[in-house]
Structure 1
Amino acid sequence: MASNRHEVTLWRKFRVEIEPLLPTWRREAQEAKERLDKEKSVRLEHGRSLTNLQTDARLEFQRMDTGIQKREQELTSLKSLRDVSLAMFDAHVPSKLHVDWSVETLKEKIEGLRESLRVDALDLQAKSRALRNLMLSKSGGVQQWVELREKELPDEQTLHEHEWFCEKARVLIDWFEPMECGPYIDQLNKEMVGFMDLASTFVGDLDLFDRRIQTFNTQLQKALSDTAKFERFRDLSVTVKSGVNQIEYLNVLRKMRDVSLSRHSSWRTHSIQERELPTVDDVMLVRQFKDILPADGRVQVNLSEHVRLECSLVENGQARRITNQEEFQAVSSNGNTALITAMFLMGFVQMIRGTDSGVRLTWVTDEVGRFDAGNLASFMRTLNDHQIDVISASPSVDPALARQFSRLSYFENTGAIATTRINAEEDFYVEN
């Protein structure tokens, strides 16, 4: 037992010091175990959270890497847009600009706008080229102005294509500024007014000629009413008419005359028109006037060609009207043309000389050979009643016709001139 004393001592000490504490220790151990289990559970939860965080972090890093790569690509695209597509527009970009667009949307928008700019530039080029060709189609002030201004344009190599088109178009547009085109339009209107006034004067002269012909015909008809008629013809009348109204281009000149009168009718209206381009109708009139002008630019009218002699008569029971040379020559050839001409002559002489004048007139005719004796007698008698003497030349003469003349002269073989006088009893004698 002695050998086991220390164990007994230890047992007693256990029973006194330790055993009372065992329930507490067991409780604390249980609590510790529970805490350990709880901590293990928390540790496992934290492990899972850590794994999730690591996964999320890895994914986030991947997303960030992807975002960085995307941003780098977008940055590259933006630099390309800036240095290539938009390089020409640096001067037009504001210092601050916020655009809530993605790069792809921005690229699409830029490409769309560039395409619109290209189409608009080509359209501007086509329209300005057509306008330029029209402005240079005629030599003059407009052509010189455009060519001079185009020499002031900057070098084409220093500009972009659309800028060059705009600069060339701006030259043409500048022409239509009042300070540029105003003097030219004013001069153009003055030249047009000059053409209109010239046409008005020309038409006025023709109208005056027409009125004078009408006055002359009135006087002629009055003179003919006091003139004896030829027995061969019945209802013979002669008329002098003006043919100026048959001039083809007279209608154009009359329209120009009307425009000229309307312009001069109001100074205010005239002043307003001087600042505006001529109307389309006025331009058409000037173009028609230009077509009328011959190569030397002078319009001339031989007024004598527009005096028409007409007559109407009843010959052998047939009514005839003569209005031109062909119809006049178609009259029967037995001296009728001479009788009609004599009718005009008697009327003219009656107008000039009057009915009470003692002055005699000599008329030279070459148609005596075509008269028959009866017509010639009537012809000579009627003219003598109007104090008109007839002189005629003929290679040979019918004695029946020769008796109607008071004096006959002819050339002999020696060159001498023989003269035959006829007295009232129709006796002949010869003077050498």
Structure 2
Amino acid sequence: MLGLFLILPVFAIYAEQLVDVTPLLIGVAIGAYGLTQAIFQVPFGMLSDRIGRKPVIVGGLLIFALGSVVAASADTIWGVVLGRALQGSGAIAAAVMALAADLTREQNRTKAMAVIGMSIGLAFAVSLVLGPLLNAWIGVPGIFWLTGLLALLGILVTLYLVPNPQKSVSHRDAEAVRDQFSRVLRDGDLVRLDLGIMLLHMMLTAVFIAVPLTLRDVTGVSVDHHWMVYLPVVLLAMLMMIPFVVIAEKRRKMKPVFLMAILTLALAQLCFILLQDSILGFGFALLLFFTAFNLLEATLPSLISKTAPAESKGTAMGIYSTSQFLGAFMGGLAGGAVYAQFSLEGVFLFGAMIAIVWLAIARGMSKPSYLSSYLIHVGVKAPSEALSLQARLQEIPGVGEAVVMADEGVAYLKVDTHCVDFGILDEFSVVET
């Protein structure tokens, strides 16, 4: 993910020197990875159930490395588009999540997934600072060569540092399950959240067509110094979002905080236009944008987990991730088209319109349940035993939902962490020998 993000803050400027470049194709090149990620990530995850996790991950990283080489070697915008599409075709996210699920106990799996999510968020934050620095040292082609090297290092990590699971099975909490798609897609609140992440990344990709060019041409910051703008903004934004996350989760004000963050995104877009002549003003607009963006990136997966049925969380997250990548592609395509017709300010107005549309959609969401996912390994059981155990689990105070999958030997629960007794829940756990 670091390799995909590194070019985001610098590519629009670099692309000006490529043959056949147009504003539309700049956007397509930035977002092309999203289309192929959206197409392949769920199928590759299912393929990993059949042929193993590591073969799919290694194959995906090889494809990603090939795409990096193609993009690094290209002197036309079409070559970079092809390279970025190939990078996205190495869609290993679902297979990585499945491997993580294979290697973790049920009770620890939610934490493991959260750590992976945080590492992706950290990669994005680091890329905003590191991208401009690397651009000054090795240029964008050098960044592509570096991302190819990182992919090859990732293969070594996968083969020699990551343990081999004793067995690989389908995990309903971490993977998409074919028979759950229709159920998830019929849930109005989940569809709202999927549209939300799609619009958020649509906005992000479109905005980063305009932000680097505005910093250089309007605000007057040289390209080599863009990192000096991003560094304090990124650090402050990460700090500023923390109290809002606490208010949303601990004080159970998720919906008001969520809607406020979307409104802040719209205001940030307007500030990009109104304050672009001043480095302090534009920095303030960036701070608003990234505080709201980070907050929404943190709360959206939490809302998916709270909203999805206990045994459909993996499917819900798969559709959510596909929507996210599709949004990145659509943002590049639409942002480039708007830039071609209406200049940089038009891109920011487009971003404000996306935020307003999202706000209208999100207002209709139900109040979150504030139930968290919890898994217990209960051992393979007969169907009648599974139903009996399911009824007993549902009677425990703080358990809002319980589904026991007899053939998997796993109980999928939704629990209120404020009042449930985890000691009682763990008494139902069966330790494998």
**TM-score scaled by length of structure 2:** 0.15
Q: Which has the higher strand share?
A: 1
Greater fraction of residues in helix: 2
TM-score, normalised via structure 1 length = 0.15
Structure of larger gyration radius: 1
